[in-house]
Each structure stands twice: as C-alpha cells, then as structure tokens.
Amino acid sequence: MNLKLRTILLGLGYILLPVFWLTTYAQADVYATQVIDEDHVSNSALAIDENLGTRAQIESNSGLALGIGAYTGFLELGYTSTIPANTTTYLKIQTEDDILRLLLSGGLGNLLSDVLGIALVGNQEILVEARNGNTTILQADSVDPNTFDNARVRLVTDTVGEYYIAITPDQAYNRIYIANRLGSLIGLNNTRTLDVFGGYYATGTLQCNDPAFTSFDGDGLSLDILQIGDAGVQNPERAIDNDATTFSELSLGVIDVAASIEQIIYFDRASQPDEDFKISLRIDPTLIALGVLNNIQFEAYNGTALISSSNLASLLNLDLLGILQSGAVTQVPFEVAGPADRIVIRYSSLLGVNAFQRLDLFDVALTPAIPVIDAASQNLRCVQEILPV
C-alpha cells in the first residue's frame, strides 16, 4: 500500500471512529410495559408509558374504627419477556410521608428515623417484590430498613435527588409488585399516596457511562454520634451530578470509637474491561498528617461480586500526595481487575485523635478506553510529512 493511500485510510478511520463507537456502544433501557394487576390506583397507564416524568398513584386508607373501610393499594408491572437473573430493575417512586431519605441510608435507617423523628413503622409503609409469574423471589419492606441494606435491594437517588428502588434478584423474573400500606399510627380515615413513575432495566453499554445513582451506609455508629457528632452523608447526589464544583460530605464528626461511613456510587452498566475509575476528593491536610489515608477504602463490585479493593494510601504517587496535602481536590486513579458497576468509598474512623473527621467526594468517573490503532498505521513520521500545506 503506497503512502498516500495509507494516509487517506488512516484519516477516514479517525472520521468514522465516532460512528463506529456509537454503533458498537449502543444502549437501551427496557421498560415494564404491562399492568398485570392493580387495586386503588389512579392513572396506572402512566407507570408503563416509558416516561419517568409521568406517574401513577397508589392510594391507601386507614379506615374508621375497627378498620372499617380500610384498604391497601398495589400495582404490579410486567415485562414482555423474562429478565435474566442478576439484572437490576430501577423503579422510580415517591412517597407522601418522608421515609425515602431514611431508606437511602441503608442500615442507618432505624437510627436516622429516631434522629429525624420519622417513624418507619406505623405510618406510610411500602412493600416491593420481584416476581416470576405469581412466585415472589425477592422482597423488601420499609418497616425493616435492613431489607434495603444489601446488594440485592437498595433505595438509591439520582443526580437530582429523585428516588428509585434498585432490585436485583438472583433468579429470572418478569414482574415488579409494589404496595402502599398504612400503619396503626396514621390515625382514622387518613389516606396516603405512593407515586410510581415506571420501572426499567439497562442493556448494552454507554460511550459516556456516567454514575446514575448513589446511596450511603454506616457501621458502628450510635444514636448519640448521629445526633451530637454530626456523622452521616450530606448531599449525596452532589457526588454524581457531573459538576466539578459540588461535593457530598462523608462525616464521622469528632469521635473516638471504631466506626465507618460509606457512600455507594452506582452505574447503569458495568465498565468495559479496559476502563478504570477516577475518584475526585478532598481531605483536610491535618487528617492526612494523622494517618487517615490508610483508613479510606475504595471497593469495586460487579453485582454482588467484589472485583477490586485498595486503600487510598496505596493509590497515591508523590505528585498526587502533594496535591492532596495542599488541601486541593485530587483525582485519584482506581484500577479495577474487571468490569464493575458499583464503587464504594468507605471512611473508617481514626482513633485517639481530637479532630473533625470528614471527606469531601466530588466525583466518581470512568476513565475512557483509548482507541487502539493498527500498528502498521502508526508511522508518525510519514503522517507528519503529509500534513504541511
């Protein structure tokens, strides 16, 4: 092949590469488009119109004395075909009572309900199930927030603070059922509505696979620490809003007990084998001097499988350490051993120090794969000779 023809083909390759990329990395969200069953639901068709801006409303009523006139509403949505095991359905919802921000905190839900004065039991309650036909294969109930504290069922929020149930059965399924109940504390003849916007699962891959959802959790925290120590995660959605100036705050306050706080970042689709992650964060230099870098852990998961785990200290070179020690936002590369769809950033407490322990999380992003060009075309000297006019 002569030099001129090779150069033309190489130029065409660069022009066509974006088209090939978009074709290869096509993606689609598959929605539940059937109403299998319903009771006390308004506008159920709006839950299957493939538009997450419209909603059906499930209504429940507490009834009169002795439960006369009480009813529970429910909605069962179906897919047109069976979904493989370990596929996540995201069901967008909104409750009338303020319980979803409690469920967003996973195992901290019960403690936060005491802090915020919101009862998870006795008021508005939600039950969600994944079903295969009439058989229930996975469920979670808001009266027990621990059922929303695992890799199979989580309450997550998106970039604008709207809520979704992420449910991932370990068996094939084709239906999602959700019920709106009222507990004994709600009083007589009261109603509550549960909005259901729709449910979907993601297929394919994305050229720009930005983080889609987030949630948080903690371990070893007590009611006193949450009330007095200012522990928890503030503004979690700001870590996934694609804004380099905003951040979530992972805080343990000033404590001297073994505890941890973590934020979980979810991607709609798993990373590609040749992609890694970049985590942008900021830490008070005082904490770095006290040795906190070994207490910050990054974990990558694909579904329920742990793919990679590293502490922050092991990921820093001298340049990155210098940036971090200056108090500036630092982009830390996190190489993973395989495709991952979930990143956990965990902050474990430093013991024996009198300092406010906090981490600012700005972003978790995928490092794009670099296109591979045929080695036979990599003659930079020849290309350079052609370019001058």
Indicate whether 182 and 220 sit together in one domain: no
- Dihedrals phi, psi of 381, to nearest 5 degrees: -65, -45
Indicate whether 144 and 226 sit together in one domain: no
Indicate whether 192 and 235 sit together in one domain: no
Contact 75, 55 (CB under 8 A): no
pTM, rounded to two decimals:
0.86
Tell me, what's the pLDDT at 37? 98
Torsion of CA 308, 313, 319, 323, to 10 degrees: 110
Range of the domain at 105: 32-204
pLDDT at 381 over 90: no
Give CA–CA dist 142/124, Å, rounded: 9
Tell me, what's the pLDDT at 68? 81
pLDDT at 378 over 70: no
The count of structural domains within the chain is: 2
Domain edge (last residue) among 174, 204, 234:
204
Give CA–CA dist 130/152, Å, rounded: 11
Min mean pLDDT across 17-31, 119-133, 214-228 is at 17-31
Indicate whether 256 and 345 sit together in one domain: yes
Banded model confidence at residue 360, pLDDT cuts 50, 70, 90? very high
Give strand pairing partners of 177: 76, 129
Indicate whether 198 and 109 sit together in one domain: yes
Contact 38, 44 (CB under 8 A): yes
Tell me, what's the pLDDT at 15? 45
Q: What is the mean pLDDT of residues 362-377?
A: 70
The residue that leads in pLDDT, 277 or 386, is: 277
Tell me, what's the pLDDT at 201? 96
In a domain, 4, yes or no: no
In a domain, 12, yes or no: no
The one-letter amino acid at 349: S
In a domain, 125, yes or no: yes
Indicate whether 264 and 157 sit together in one domain: no
pLDDT at 369 over 90: no
Domain edge (last residue) among 150, 170, 204:
204
Indicate whether 292 and 349 sit together in one domain: yes
Indicate whether 179 and 242 sit together in one domain: no
Structure tokens at 249: 């705050």
In a domain, 234, yes or no: yes
In a domain, 109, yes or no: yes
Indicate whether 252 and 185 sit together in one domain: no
Percent of the chain with pLDDT over 70: 86
Give strand pairing partners of 153: 167
In a domain, 310, yes or no: yes
Indicate whether 235 and 345 sit together in one domain: yes
Indicate whether 108 and 142 sit together in one domain: yes
In a domain, 6, yes or no: no
Element (H, E) at 225: helix 223-228
Tell me, what's the pLDDT at 379? 47
Q: What is the mean pLDDT of residues 75-80?
A: 98
Tell me, what's the pLDDT at 346? 98
Measured at the CA of 160, the angle between CA 159 and CA 164, to 5 degrees, comes to 75
The one-letter amino acid at 296: I
Cα separations in angstroms, 313 against 42, 294, 355: 54, 5, 20
Tell me, what's the pLDDT at 21? 38
The one-letter amino acid at 279: I
CATH of the domain at 238: 2.60.120
Work out the burial of residue 200: count CB atoms within 10 Å of its CB; fewer than 13 is exposed, 13-18 middle, 19 or more buried.
buried
How many alpha carbons fall within 13 Å on the CB side of residue 234? 12
Min mean pLDDT across 39-53, 191-205, 226-240, 336-350 is at 226-240
Strands 305-311 and 27-31: unpaired
Indicate whether 246 and 308 sit together in one domain: yes
> CA Rg, the chain, in Å?
25
Torsion of CA 202, 205, 208, 209, to 10 degrees: 50
pLDDT at 356 over 80: yes
Give strand pairing partners of 367: 276
Strands 276-283 and 330-334: antiparallel
The one-letter amino acid at 116: L
Tell me, what's the pLDDT at 28? 80
Please, which residues have CB within 8 angstroms of residue 149's CB and are 6 or more apart in sequence?
Answer: 106, 107, 109, 217
